[in-house]
Amino acid sequence: MTQTTDTFTRMDQSTAEQWARIGAETIEHQERVGERVLGMLRSLAEITDGFAVDQLTHSLQTATLAERAGADDEVVVAALCHDIGKAVSVPNHPGIAAAILRPYVRDEVYKMILVHQDFQGRHYYGHFGGDPNAREQHRDTLSADEFELASRFADEWDQIAFDPAYDTLPLEHFEPLVRETFARARFMV
């Protein structure tokens, strides 16, 4: 890790010139984000947790299904990254994945990932005593189009992507799209 000595040690003593340099270096090194995301995706190969496929394969199948259904690039990348939070924590993985994706995808795609567990819950929450209609709690906070996209994601791609025999596209197929997507941050202040 490179550290420079001509920068601040306290934000309340920083200058506009120092922040301009930080901003320029951040933009210059933006390509590292895609590589970090790809590394997190690769780490999902170590997580099976009782499923028929590991979480990387599940993510690849979800993205493959979305791509083959004609989803746009942002939805395909989000489908690939929807469970990336499981590299850190399973219970709050949707929030982690959504936060990672937020500066790189439009708002409806961010929301699709943020709520995907409740939407997918239609297919399994009842097995845990949960409400299989948990997605309905999001009707008032999502537009009709956002609700439809989240439903399509959960019902047509995510919940069926656990098939060891499915003709799944490899991570290498998606790498250029991941790099391209994560090279274009929409900085949020």
Q: What angle do CA 95, 183, 159 make, to 5 degrees?
A: 40
Assign 27 a pLDDT band (cuts: 50, 70, 90). Answer: confident
Say if residue 22's pLDDT is above 90. no
Q: For position 1, what pLDDT does the model report?
A: 54
User: What does the pLDDT look like over 89-100, one tens digit per residue?
Assistant: 999 999 999 999
| Residue 90 in tokens | 């399973």
Assign 187 a pLDDT band (cuts: 50, 70, 90). Answer: low
| Residue 160 in tokens | 């069926």
Contacts of 149 (CB under 8 A, 6+ apart): 75, 108, 109, 112
Say if residue 188's pLDDT is above 60. no
Distance from C-alpha of 131 to C-alpha of 115, rounded to nearest angstrom: 14
Q: For position 24, what pLDDT does the model report?
A: 84
Assign 152 a pLDDT band (cuts: 50, 70, 90). Answer: very high
User: What does the pLDDT look like over 43-101, one tens digit per residue?
Assistant: 999 999 999 999 999 999 999 999 999 999 999 999 999 999 999 999 999 999 999 99
Q: For position 4, what pLDDT does the model report?
A: 59
Distance from C-alpha of 23 to C-alpha of 17, rounded to nearest angstrom: 10
What average pLDDT does range 136-161 have in this prediction?
A: 98
CB neighbourhood size of 173 (10 A)? 14
